[in-house]
Amino acid sequence: MSHDHSLNPETMPQEPEKATLEGRNKFLGLWFFLGGETVLFASFFGTYLALRNSTAGGPASTDIFGLGLVFAMTMILLTSSLTSVYAMYHMKNNDFKKMMLWLGITGLLGISFLALEIYEFAHYIIDYEFTFRSSAFGSAFYTLVGFHGGHVLFGITWLIALMVRNAKRGLNLYNAPKFYTFSLYWHFIDVVWVFIFTVVYLMGRVG
């Protein structure tokens, strides 16, 4: 099967991401990687849960966490998950332009999420003097949420590289798996965030 020619609706296989051996390998490789990432984040979550009350006299979770900002961040990231679903929907219908449009929206939502997170961290540091070094709770909080933010940043960079590289080439069996694996990764970031807003922020408010 040729890699180099763009697909037209007649040659489009049902699942372009898994039509080649390379595609299947990438698909499985990323899924397995996510299996490992599950343990990675579990270790961060476990550390956070063990240390969440170790405030050493500094600010505690009930003092600093507000719900409004977190709710906005959650909605943004959840929506970006849906937009990447739309992108994959258009990929399967071989509509390259619409796919790129929805991927672009996904990226923008990701960037606004990151911006809010940076604002949030700055807010804690400046207004509450709650830092990475103020207590074991601080270290665990910034590490857990920061690693998630790092994953978002990596995802955005990945997405930009993919979009720029393939802007003029259209969809083919060589790059379809790349788009698809990106979307899997992006959903996983969302999964982690669901646990972060539940375990860190909501449970932190409850005390």
Residue with smaller CB distance to other proteins, 116 or 199: 199
Measured from the CB of residue 44, what is the shortest distance to other proteins in angstroms?
6
Binding positions for other proteins, 108-137, rule CB under 8 A: 132-137
Measured from the CB of residue 46, what is the shortest distance to other proteins in angstroms?
3
Helix, strand, coil percent values for the chain (each to nearest 5): 75, 0, 25
Q: Return the closest-CA partner of residue 107 out of 157, 72, 69, 150.
A: 157
Which tokens in the block code for residue 63? 């003092």
| Distant-in-sequence, close-in-space partners of 126: CB < 8 Å, separation ≥ 6 | none
Binding mask 188-207 for other proteins (x = CB under 8 A): x-xx--xx-xxx--xx-xxx
| Distant-in-sequence, close-in-space partners of 152: CB < 8 Å, separation ≥ 6 | 110, 113, 114, 117, 189
Which tokens in the block code for residue 59? 């600010």
Which tokens in the block code for residue 82? 């849906």
Residue with smaller CB distance to other proteins, 72 or 118: 72
Binding positions for other proteins, 151-170, rule CB under 8 A: 161-162, 165
| Distant-in-sequence, close-in-space partners of 115: CB < 8 Å, separation ≥ 6 | none
- Amino acid identity, residue 23? G
Question: Rounded to an integer, what distance in angstroms lies between the CA atom of residue 59 and that of residue 128?
Answer: 7
Measured from the CB of residue 202, what is the shortest distance to other proteins in angstroms?
5
How many residues are recorded in the chain? 207
For residues 187 and 75, is the Cβ–Cβ distance under 8 A?
no
| Residue from 6, 46, 62, 122 in contact with other proteins (CB under 8 A) | 46
Measured from the CB of residue 165, what is the shortest distance to other proteins in angstroms?
6
**Part of the chain binding other proteins (CB under 8 A), chosen from 106-114, 116-124, 185-193:** 185-193
Residue with smaller CB distance to other proteins, 82 or 125: 82
Binding positions for other proteins, 70-109, rule CB under 8 A: 71, 74-75, 78, 81-82, 85-86, 89, 92-93, 95
**Part of the chain binding other proteins (CB under 8 A), chosen from 20-28, 105-113, 114-122:** 20-28
32 binds other proteins (CB under 8 A): yes
